[in-house]
Amino acid sequence: MDQRGMRNRWGLAFMITLLVLVVAKLGVLQGVDGAEYANAAEQDRLRTYPIAALRGAVLDRDGNPFAYTVDASRVVADPEVVDDPERTALALTTLLDVPVPELTDKLSKDSRYVVLAPQVSPETTDAIDALELPGILFEDDPVRLYPAGTVGGQVVGFVGRDGEGLAGIEQTFQDELAGTPGQRRVEVGSGGNRIPSGIDESTPATDGDSVTLTLDQDLQFVTEQRLGEACADGATTRASAVVLDVRTGQVAAMGSCPGYDPGNYSATDPDLLGNPIVSGVFEPGSVMKAVTLSAALEEGVAEPDTVLTVDGHIQAGDRVVTDAHDHDPVDWTVTGILAKSSNVGTIMLAREVGDGKLEQYLRAFGIGETTGIELPGESAGILQDSDEWSEVRAANVAIGQGVSVTTLQMASIYQAIANDGVRVPPRIVESVTGPDGRVTEASTPDGTRVISEATAEKMAYMLEAVVGPGGTAPLGQVEGFRVAGKTGTAQRPNPDCNCYEGGGYVTTFVGFAPADDPQYVVAVDLERPSSDAEGGQVAAPVFADILRYALTADGVVPSGTARPDFRLTGTP
Q: Looking at 209-312, which runs of residues are DSSP E strands? A: 210-213, 238-245, 251-257, 307-310
Distance CA 341, CA 490 (A): 12
Distance CA 510, CA 516 (A): 16
DSSP designation for 489: E
**Do 499 and 483 meet the contact criterion of CB atoms below 8 Å apart?**
no
DSSP designation for 387: G
Distance CA 450, CA 291 (A): 10
Q: Is 286 a catalytic residue?
A: yes
Q: How far is CA 565 from CA 338, 475, 487, in A?
A: 15, 18, 20
Provide the sign of the torsion angle of the four alpha carbons 398, 399, 400, 401, taken in this order.
negative
Residue 516 half-sphere exposure, CB side, CA atoms within 13 Å?
12
Contacts of range 196-200, beta carbons closer than 8 Å, 24 or more positions apart: 198/45, 199/42, 199/46
Count of residues making up the chain: 572
User: Which residues, in sequence order, are bridge partners of residue 522?
Assistant: 243, 511
**Do 416 and 510 meet the contact criterion of CB atoms below 8 Å apart?**
no
Provide the 10 A C-beta neighbour count for residue 9.
11
Q: Which residue among the candidates 286, 386, 404, 531 is catalytic per the annotation?
A: 286
> Taking Cα atoms as reference points, which of 339, 328, 329 lies closest to residue 305?
339
Distance CA 369, CA 374 (A): 15
User: Which residues, in sequence order, are bridge partners of residue 202?
Assistant: 184
Coil/strand/helix, residue 97: coil
> Amino acid identity, residue 151?
V
User: Residue 46 belongs to what H/E stretch?
Assistant: strand 46-51
Distance CA 334, CA 459 (A): 10
**Active-site positions?**
286
